[in-house]
């Protein structure tokens, strides 16, 4: 049963009611960010109270063995916890809504686990691994087993390390961590996600642009949930929709780069809002 508008109690007042009314019964493209997964226990980058952090760039990752050792030592700890996270009410609501296209900046795979069908994982998935030399792809669970075997006791020794976004943890001492090579060619393994300094693959971007453009003739709307839109990979879709006259609704805790382009801008929880919108 659909929740009533009055079930969402926020300081936005009638704006929330208006936004829900605007979005209902329209074709939707939805763009999600890290704020959608905080209710699953995964920290976000820029929400209220989030710690300052500088993610490793692609240039750093390929700069040498020490950088990759640092990345995998921290990721080994973080991913062991991230994979235990489950979809929250917001993920489930979006699966029920089944928008024309769901674009996610998240790499946690929770939309897929919730059952979303028409989805573009803009930045890839942390559960996938690629060899930078032979381009062979494999599953992260398999690599996790190899990391465990090569670094016995590492998880237990650093169990208190604080979790950060994207399967990372707060850990400085990574000397001695053993990083396995590709089993096919002996090359360098990297999570199959877009690092800062890399470009989102063009086919993904074009599919998203096409879905956003189609909203014009369909009388649809673009909904942003849980993204600060700080990086251009997501902000460009908001800018494109607004330029075409498509309504844009932004739901996020804290300011976003796209606030001035939004038809409605709501500082409310993603899970609550999406649950109210879902059928």
Does the annotation mark 123 as catalytic?
Answer: yes
148 is in an annotated binding site: no
Residues 228 and 265 in one domain: yes
Residues 148 and 278 in one domain: no
* pTM metric for this prediction: 0.88
Secondary structure (3-state) at 220: coil
Range of the domain at 214: 1-42+85-123+200-279
Q: How many domains does the chain have?
A: 2
Most confident of 1-15, 167-181, 251-265: 251-265
Residues 10 and 99 in one domain: yes
Of the residues 76, 111, 123, 158, which is catalytic? 123
* pLDDT at 8 (0 to 100): 38
Residues 178 and 252 in one domain: no
Residues 241 and 252 in one domain: yes
141-188 residue pLDDT tens: 999 999 999 999 887 877 666 666 555 656 667 778 999 999 999 999
* pLDDT at 164 (0 to 100): 62
- Asked if 151 contacts 178 with a C-beta cutoff of 8 angstroms, the reply is yes
Residues 101 and 204 in one domain: yes
Residues 5 and 117 in one domain: yes
Residues 184 and 204 in one domain: no
208 is in an annotated binding site: no
d(C-alpha 226, C-alpha 122), whole Å: 15
130 inside domain: no
Residue 2 binned pLDDT confidence (cut-offs 50, 70, 90): very low
Listed residues 193, 223, 253: the one ending a domain: 193
Domain CATH for 23: 3.40.50.1220
- Asked if 59 contacts 132 with a C-beta cutoff of 8 angstroms, the reply is no
* pLDDT at 165 (0 to 100): 54
109 inside domain: yes
196-246 residue pLDDT tens: 889 999 999 999 999 999 999 999 999 999 999 999 999 999 999 999 999
254 is in an annotated binding site: yes
* pLDDT at 1 (0 to 100): 29
110-134 residue pLDDT tens: 999 999 999 999 999 999 999 999 9
Output DSSP code: residue 41: T
Q: How far is CA 175 from CA 2, 65, 80, in A?
A: 53, 11, 20
């Amino acid at each position: 049963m659909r929740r009533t508008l009055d079930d969402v109690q926020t300081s936005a007042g009638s704006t929330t009611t208006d936004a829900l009314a605007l979005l209902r019964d329209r074709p939707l493209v939805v763009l999600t960010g890290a704020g959608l997964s905080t209710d699953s226990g995964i920290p976000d980058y820029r929400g209220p109270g989030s710690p300052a952090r500088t993610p490793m760039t692609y240039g750093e990752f390929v700069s040498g063995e020490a950088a990759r050792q640092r990345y995998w030592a921290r990721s080994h700890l973080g991913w062991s916890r991230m994979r235990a996270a489950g979809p929250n009410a917001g993920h489930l609501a979006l699966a029920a809504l089944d928008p024309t296209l769901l674009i996610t900046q998240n790499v946690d795979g929770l939309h897929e686990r919730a059952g979303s069908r028409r989805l573009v994982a803009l930045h890839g998935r942390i559960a996938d691994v690629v060899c930078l030399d032979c381009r062979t792809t494999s599953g992260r669970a398999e690599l996790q087993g190899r990391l465990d075997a090569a670094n016995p006791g590492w998880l237990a020794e650093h169990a208190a390390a604080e979790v950060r976004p994207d399967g990372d943890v707060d850990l400085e001492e990574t000397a001695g961590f053993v990083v396995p090579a590709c089993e096919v060619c002996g090359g360098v393994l990297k999570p199959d996600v877009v690092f800062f300094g890399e470009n989102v693959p063009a086919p993904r971007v074009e599919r998203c642009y096409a879905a956003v453009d189609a909203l014009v003739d369909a009388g649809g709307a673009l909904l942003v949930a849980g993204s600060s839109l700080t990086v251009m990979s997501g902000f460009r879709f908001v800018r494109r929709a607004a330029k075409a006259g498509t309504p844009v609704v932004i739901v996020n805790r804290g300011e976003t780069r796209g606030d001035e382009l939004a038809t409605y801008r709501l500082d409310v929880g993603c899970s609550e809002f999406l649950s109210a919108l879902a059928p």
